[in-house]
Amino acid sequence: MRKADVIAGITAKTGKEKKATETIVDAFFKVVQASLINGEDVFVRGFGTFLVKKRAAKIGRNITKNIAVQIPESYIPAFRPGDEFKNKVKAAAIKSKFREASV
């Protein structure tokens, strides 16, 4: 599913104009992005948390020269699904597997 599909789905559910929905979705992503840049997590009850994870420094290997390379620590955006969201996905996956097994 792409962003356009998300916008189309929201437009169908809400009955709002596509352009208005697109503006709202874009604004949501910009707010989440700005919050993460400022070091703030974004918690959406029943859905999950957008956060910044720290990746520790480590030693990598340049395979062409066969030498060790220091990889510095870095920070990446991440998403941690909430329990309610995980349970819904798990239940849907179980139903899907049950249907596949019965066919």
pLDDT digits (tens, 9 = 90+) for 9-32: 999 999 999 999 999 999 999 999
- The proportion of the chain whose per-residue pLDDT surpasses 70, expressed as a percent, equals 94
Q: How many CB atoms lie within 10 A of CB 72?
A: 8
Domain boundaries, the chain: 1-40, 49-102
Neighbouring residues of 41: CB distance < 8 A, sequence distance ≥ 6:
35, 49, 50, 51, 52
pLDDT of 4 over the 60 cut: yes
| Separation of alpha carbons 10 and 21, rounded Å | 7
Q: What is the DSSP letter of 103?
A: -
Q: Where are the alpha helices (DSSP H) in the chain?
A: 3-14, 18-37, 83-102
Question: Which pTM was predicted?
Answer: 0.76
Name the 3-class secondary structure at 75: strand
pLDDT of 94 over the 70 cut: yes
* The pLDDT value given to residue 21: 96
Q: How many CB atoms lie within 10 A of CB 21?
A: 20
The mean predicted confidence, pLDDT, of the chain is 93
pLDDT in tens, 61-71: 999 999 999 99
